[in-house]
Structure 1
């Protein structure tokens, strides 16, 4: 970038075919981002230069990158490095979904997977997972859309980018879940609250949730609960400081118990409160609450 150009805020949207890239792009467009679909990674720097010109400058650009190129990972990594050298710090949003969800979506529209070739739909999905593995590992934000409809995905994009100003402050999602329903695939960190006694076995607490005061008080009164929160807060303080220094904008903290109803919910709310006290923007989600 030269002195005659502004530095645009760039978000790269990528991920699994069928995981919702088009919906994410449309949502960003509705939020007044300038969206470019299917841009080859090698043209990212050119797009940044064009978008940063003073006259008719485009301050926020979202680029949807297709994964069909065999050199996808290397090209994207190289292009991001090029942008970083120019003073542009792009954020990568990776959209994920389970094999079952992707198969269901492709079958519903009766379209083959772009990497399927002469094989099966699952073959195409497997090839793509291998091709995007490194990009997923380095993404700033991973969103699992397996159980999301288009409206829910749109709401998530709005929650992350609706008031986005391009600032580097960290945003955290604290997600409670039940182990019996599976690990959340988009979590950056996972902690297990099953070391605490389960309120499920207390008859008067069983129908309540971790949002209710009696359950919350029961969980927090257990041996080790406060010590865990104090220690985990210290760990998160170190991690969030490091994330911000490294330019990571989003982190998802998953908190699990058996069913995702009592302990994980109560502890998630406490962790979120402590993060807010540290000045971090936090949203809380209870994935499996009400599922039983």
Structure 2
């Protein structure tokens, strides 16, 4: 058994089945979401006795579901007995799995239940602390047999998601997906933009007769826009300014961000700058970038 107090990745050569359980309020749902974000097929609230059946079904299509995570809520002695039998059955069948147990200090769990204004599922007519004590008694043997124990007492939801990512993905650091979008101010700001850049300081190709029919995707317009005074200086400094933002997003386990680049009509300047900005951002580590032109083609 390994108790995870620091971010020490545990990455066996094969990770086909992960059973996730632990104390109520310790972060099972957050862990499930993080796993799902990184390619795991997640099944939540599965009755323990169905674990063997599900594993058998998945084993028949390993290429379709290469990584299965099953989140089991063990809140009674009856369910605890069921999961012991289910895990024993997996071992007897030669099925390889890992058991992740999420835990937290009692005062942390009490605070989380109070903040959520909900009772502990086992407190009955007692206090939240009574429910926690009852759950610990039920789960003590399961905790002792776990492969990885993560103490979430000092972790917020972002830090926990990052911990799960580093423990149970093979891809290393989190990849941030950036959508760089051109738009026209006259059609309104994009509602989903995290950052907005205004490139109307660049001379407008619209007023150059031979360029007016073309777009920022065409070489002549692109060269005109990128060759204008101040454009490349702006791009250099903007990418430099975005680097700590991207690092911060990754630390906070944010997987998607939209950077909007606007000109008047979304046809010339913003399109050319968006394409160039996307190319530059794609050179940063652990980032995937796509370019999208919202208003291109509108009159």
Tell me the TM-score normalised to structure 1 length: 0.52
Q: Secondary structure at the match of 2:77?
A: coil
Match of 2:116 among 87, 109, 115: 109
Q: Secondary structure at the match of 1:95?
A: strand
1:149 pairs with 2:156: yes
Q: Secondary structure at the match of 2:126?
A: coil
RMSD: 1.9
Match of 1:97 among 104, 112, 125: 104
1:63 pairs with 2:67: no
Contact 2:104–2:151 (Cα < 8 Å) also in 1: yes
Residue 51 of structure 1 and its aligned partner are, at CA, apart by 1.1
1:24-49 per-residue CA deviation (whole Å, 9 max, x = no partner) reads: 01000011100000111111111101
Distance 1:106 1:54 in 2: 40
Distance 1:162 1:65 in 2: 20
Residue 72 of structure 1 and its aligned partner are, at CA, apart by 2.8
Residue 88 of structure 1 and its aligned partner are, at CA, apart by 1.0
Q: Gaps (5+ residues) in structure 1?
A: 1-6, 166-292
1:76 pairs with 2:83: yes
Q: Work out which of the two has the higher radius of gyration on C-alpha atoms and give 1 or 2.
A: 2
Distance 1:8 1:141 in 2: 13
Distance 2:76 2:47 in 1: 9
Distance 1:59 1:84 in 2: 19
Please show how residues 205-244 of structure 1 align to structure 2 within 5 Å. none
Residue aligning to 1:36: 43
Contact 1:9–1:88 (Cα < 8 Å) also in 2: no
Residue aligning to 2:131: 124
Distance 1:9 1:56, change over 3 A: closer
Contact 1:94–1:136 (Cα < 8 Å) also in 2: yes
Q: Secondary structure at the match of 2:80?
A: helix
Match of 1:53 among 60, 81, 84: 60
Contact 2:76–2:138 (Cα < 8 Å) also in 1: no
Distance 1:104 1:82 in 2: 37
Q: Secondary structure at the match of 1:139?
A: coil
Residue 139 of structure 1 and its aligned partner are, at CA, apart by 0.3
Contact 2:28–2:102 (Cα < 8 Å) also in 1: yes
Residue aligning to 1:13: 20
Contact 2:15–2:97 (Cα < 8 Å) also in 1: no
Residue aligning to 2:169: 162
Tell me the TM-score normalised to structure 2 length: 0.51
Residue aligning to 1:140: 147
Aligned residue-pair number: 159
Distance 1:34 1:104 in 2: 31
